[in-house]
Amino acid sequence: MARDHGAQIKDDGLYEELRKQGQSKEKAARIANAKANDSLKHNATHLEDRTKDDLMQEARKIGIEGRSKMKKADLIEAIRNHG
């Protein structure tokens, strides 16, 4: 049985599984809560299909530093590993 992580985590089991997979606390909480609220988007655009400008905007939004010097592949990796 999953440990109770408090009211801020809506799906404790999924949160724990994501943490075991190496996700940060913040990212695991976002995913677990989105899944619990049925707001997790399964039809999200693959990062490789997005333009470099779109990736730059996403990187800016989530606070990735050094993004202006990154190539598209570097942006994708940084976005995926953020959190």
pLDDT at 69 (0 to 100): 96
Cα 19 off chain centre by: 13
| Total residues belonging to the chain | 83
**pLDDT digits 0-9 by tens, 42-79:** 555 688 888 999 999 999 999 999 999 999 999 999 99
Residue 39 has pLDDT above 80, yes or no: no
Once rounded to an integer, what is the mean pLDDT over residues 23-52?
77
Q: Render the chain in DSSP notation, one character per residue.
A: -PPP--TT-S-HHHHHHHHHTT--HHHHHHHHHHHHTT---TTPPPGGGS-HHHHHHHHHHHT-TTGGG--HHHHHHHHHH--
pLDDT, greater one: 44 or 16: 16
Once rounded to an integer, what is the mean pLDDT over residues 1-10?
70
Which residue bears the tokens 């693959």?
A: 46
The reported pTM is 0.49
